[in-house]
Structure 1
Amino acid sequence: MSAHFQSARQVLRDLATRKLTAAELMEHTLARIDALNPDINAIVARRDGAELMKEAETADHARTRGPLHGLPIAIKDLANVAGLTTTQGSPMLRDFVPAEDELFVARLRAAGAIIVGKTNTPEFGLGSHTFNPVHGATANPYDTTRSCGGSSGGAAAALATGMLSLADGSDMMGSLRNPAGWCNVYGFRPTWGRVPSQPRGDLFLHPLATIGPMARSPEDLAILLDVMSGADPRQPLSATCWADSPTAPLPTAQPMRIGWLGDWGGAYPMEPGILETTRASLDVLADLGHRIEEVQPPFPADRIWQAWSTLRSYALTASLRIFAGQRGQLKASAQWELDRGLALTGQEVQSASDLRSDWQRSAARLFERYDALILPTAQCWPFDIKMGHPTRINEVPMDTYHRWMEVVVPVSLLGLPSVAVPAGFGDEGLPIGVQMFGAHGRDRALLALAQQYHEATDWPNRRPPPGPNP
């Protein structure tokens, strides 16, 4: 295996034992970014190389060493990093330099990580395709004419190419699951509340999005999750979520009863090859001793979508409303969400919450029968990087900018833990993944299952993307 595709666990072990110095690792990282990033455009707002080398040399002489000591990392460009431009992909924030780190960023710094820059994201994180007018588009490492997904597309592409060994992502509507699937890496959406967000604005009404780790193995996901996790007293809904034992090292996966939901009984149109490729992951799990069963749709997909599209617009408007006076400068999808959110009545929001509650009750009954459920990470293959978003899947028109990602919504609506794992490659050599998800609080069990699957498949190392290999 090439040095730049070593696991984060091995790199951190080498740093801890002084087999590798932080300065050597930083020099290698910067060389790798110089070689690949011009074609991929995954890492943006890069810090000065000499400054980074000095910080790495200082880390080599430090007496205290955290769990990420000396490890280079780049932060998704939706999160504030003190002293580093945070644009969220919007020209309106092109020159915004925050004075303070976001909560999870501060935790990464305290653990010893060295921040080299930001990872690219769509404007305001909207749409699962990483392009924006500030930094441009991020290419899929397996075909640079295709999308890498999003909104954590820069993170996924940087991991796939070995520019980073760990990365943060965030996920409202598949924002770390879809790019993980399309870039042949792993992404974990934790139980909502396990990783608290920045305690600003409303703290109660919008439990839809969450921060989570991305990596090239579930074991590495667990390392970063440990650092990110932990209740914050300013975030009341995080207080009940997880002061449990560390996720790393992961426990041994126990035999599970796993349900395959496929295309949700035909409700989710899928491009040719998606179901066939993702079904192959079930054979791997069966060979590992798990019981696999076909599951009929447990709840009407149209009711899940109705609840989701309403609550998402409601939540996004809470952050986008400050731009209402500059509406014309927002991308079309942001304008659409803002207009919908401002037009919602209280009773429409309540009705959507009632539907979400109905789905939660149905899901709870389902998880009495199954330890985990599986869906594809996307309904189509990576599309042309010049497209805004798919408007049709097969012959089915997509009536919104995000309807083509409907398959991720059952997880997002309930804030369930979900790990996106690689499932293989289609006829054109493009990757796809599956979502393994479970009941609230089943984070450790899902990561253990994913790690067992990874050890049997090792897709990121079996099929690294083509490109320079310095």
Structure 2
Amino acid sequence: MSMDTELVFRSAREQLALLERKELSARELLDAHVAQITRHNPTVNAVVTVDLDTAERVATAIDDERCAGRPLGPLAGLPISIKDTHATAGLRTTCGSPLLADNVPDADDEIVRRMQVGGVVRLGKTNVPEFAAGSHTFNPVFGVTRNPYAPTRSAGGSSGGAAAALAAGFQPIADGSDMGGSLRNPASFCNVVGLRPTPGLVPDPTGLLGYLPMGTAGPMARTVGDVGLLLSVIAGRHRADPLSYDSDAAAYAAPTPASLAGMRVAWAPTLGDRVPVEADVLDTLAPNVAVFEDLGAHVEPACPDLDGAFEAFRTLRAVEFEAAFAQMYAATPDGFKPDLVWNISEGARLSGPQVGRALAELTRLQRAADRFFDDYDVLLAPVSQVTPFDAELTWPSMVAGVEQHDYLGWMESCCLITALGVPAMSVPGGFTTDGLPVGLQIITRARTEATLLAVAAAFEEATAFGLRTPDLEGINR
């Protein structure tokens, strides 16, 4: 492994320490990541738009500020490409759609603004499914993003480009978003860490349906600590987001492994027999129960009330898709992939009473989840019901012998948790006998991200699954 390659696989915290000690410049760190992208992005296809000139200017300016002894943000000098659904001022944002292939926003989304205030060096964009619909990253503008551990397999989605970029050493941290698993599924597929926060922790002041807590932005990285660091920068109230709330950034910035002695842990491998899960996934995750027990936790089979959760999720997802895309679809009906057309059409057919019942069900489920966490500190479950699948598929039509009738079915293990309104994290949970990554989903009570990070850090320290990196050189030989 070359010195540059070793550098790009160091954690964000390690890279920042080198920068702060002036053993490395931001420009040198950027150059190392650009070299890694140049070597391996043609295979992985995670980074889809690059503005190297701007990145070099920003990195040089950070070096000058550091040499002058001026205060810098907590992420100062870290290179990052931004999810291609998050608006970036002056840099093309396509959402993976030909309809937006030439779209250059005038302003940054709030999550992008906060990261740039934190000092990141914006290099480019990461690939997404068309309008972030589905948990497999492909689109007509840029093509398929491939899994760095197995390039014939999916990297997941919709933050698939972000997860693959992390796994391939293209950047140390990444932004993403998650409605039905779009942070968690790609993290699971690519052996990185992805956190869906409690809705409102990471604000969206431009969201169309500000009172509907389904989708949320969140952080990804290769380590739990780096996820916490990025969360500390992007979290916190914004007056234009009615669900947002104040948070203590210091509680997330440097998570330390929790003591699990006496902790009450629920293990739900099939979420109360509600979802089919492939045997490879269950076989890989099952030994992790013993990891928690060895760390002093009491683990038992248990699952929160999920009755009606998938139906409520599907209904409210359709509401959001109809609200977001109906006008554009009416004007350009040939500009959308079939799965998007289906979801928009489902939303258009809903009645007021149907939406009201779904909202009432969501309220009931979230109250029941809060009561569940009176009895358990942590819930463990699979992230995905499948291992990374053939990248040429649109979505898995069968899971453990059970037919899936639309593109949401195979994602149910994440969608169900979304309906509970709680934070959920995908942490590297091991590898199948074929060498494919599998993520463990760790879930806690709403607004307890600090607890979730500490528990995940303890599991990460005990297992070290995330230290295994892909053999990119072998792939390209």
TM-score (norm 1): 0.96
Cα distance in structure 1, aligned partners of 2:304 and 2:459: 26
Cα distance in structure 2, aligned partners of 1:358 and 1:103: 31
Contact 1:130–1:148 (Cα < 8 Å) also in 2:
yes
Cα distance in structure 2, aligned partners of 1:331 and 1:274: 30
Which amino acid counterpart does residue 460 of structure 2 have in structure 1? Answer: H
Cα distance 1:138–1:358, how it changes in 2: closer, same or farther (>3 A)?
Answer: same
1:258-277 equivalences under 5 Å are: 258-277=265-284
Q: Which moved more, 1:226-235 or 1:410-419?
A: 410-419
Which residue of 398, 401, 423 corresponds with 1:392? 398
Aligned counterpart, 1:247: 252
Which residue of 17, 20, 27 corresponds with 2:24? 20
Percent identity (aligned): 41
Which amino acid counterpart does residue 244 of structure 2 have in structure 1? Answer: S
1:47-446 equivalences under 5 Å are: 47-48=51-52, 50-62=53-65, 63-204=70-211, 206-239=212-245, 241-243=246-248, 245-255=250-260, 256-295=263-302, 297-301=303-307, 303-325=308-330, 326-446=332-452
Contact 1:35–1:468 (Cα < 8 Å) also in 2:
no
Which amino acid counterpart does residue 201 of structure 1 have in structure 2? Answer: L
Which amino acid counterpart does residue 361 of structure 1 have in structure 2? Answer: R
Q: Report whether the alignment pairs 1:460 with 2:459.
A: no
- Map Cα deviations across residues 309-336 of structure 1 (whole Å, 9 max, x no partner): 1111011211112213212211111101
Measured after TM superposition, the shift of residue 460 of structure 1 is: 2.1
Q: Report whether the alignment pairs 1:46 with 2:50.
A: yes
- Map Cα deviations across residues 69-102 of structure 1 (whole Å, 9 max, x no partner): 1110110000000011100000000000001111
Contact 1:159–1:167 (Cα < 8 Å) also in 2:
yes
Aligned residues: 464
Aligned residue for 2:311, secondary structure, equals: helix
Give 4+ residue runs of structure 1 displaced > 6 Å after superposition: none
Which amino acid counterpart does residue 439 of structure 1 have in structure 2? Answer: R
Cα distance in structure 2, aligned partners of 1:355 and 1:415: 12
Measured after TM superposition, the shift of residue 24 of structure 1 is: 0.8
Cα distance 1:243–1:261, how it changes in 2: closer, same or farther (>3 A)?
Answer: same
Contact 2:430–2:439 (Cα < 8 Å) also in 1:
yes
- Map Cα deviations across residues 403-433 of structure 1 (whole Å, 9 max, x no partner): 0110112221132111110111112111111
Contact 1:12–1:71 (Cα < 8 Å) also in 2:
yes
Measured after TM superposition, the shift of residue 442 of structure 1 is: 1.0
Contact 2:180–2:415 (Cα < 8 Å) also in 1:
yes
Measured after TM superposition, the shift of residue 273 of structure 1 is: 1.6
Measured after TM superposition, the shift of residue 244 of structure 1 is: 6.0
Which amino acid counterpart does residue 324 of structure 1 have in structure 2? Answer: Y
- Map Cα deviations across residues 360-395 of structure 1 (whole Å, 9 max, x no partner): 232122111000101101111111111000111132
Aligned counterpart, 2:454: 448
Measured after TM superposition, the shift of residue 55 of structure 1 is: 2.5
Measured after TM superposition, the shift of residue 246 of structure 1 is: 3.5
- Map Cα deviations across residues 208-264 of structure 1 (whole Å, 9 max, x no partner): 01111101111100110011011011112113x424644122244132211001102
Which amino acid counterpart does residue 327 of structure 1 have in structure 2? Answer: P
Measured after TM superposition, the shift of residue 445 of structure 1 is: 0.5
Gaps of 5+ in 2: none
Which amino acid counterpart does residue 208 of structure 1 have in structure 2? Answer: M
Contact 1:280–1:423 (Cα < 8 Å) also in 2:
no
Q: Which moved more, 1:12-21 or 1:172-181?
A: 12-21
Which amino acid counterpart does residue 138 of structure 2 have in structure 1? Answer: F
Cα distance in structure 1, aligned partners of 2:272 and 2:241: 38
Aligned counterpart, 1:31: 35
Aligned residue for 1:414, secondary structure, equals: coil
Contact 2:427–2:440 (Cα < 8 Å) also in 1:
yes
Contact 1:231–1:243 (Cα < 8 Å) also in 2:
no
Contact 1:189–1:419 (Cα < 8 Å) also in 2:
yes
Which amino acid counterpart does residue 210 of structure 1 have in structure 2? Answer: T
Which amino acid counterpart does residue 379 of structure 1 have in structure 2? Answer: Q
Q: CA RMSD in A?
A: 1.6
Gaps of 5+ in 1: none
Aligned residue for 1:259, secondary structure, equals: strand
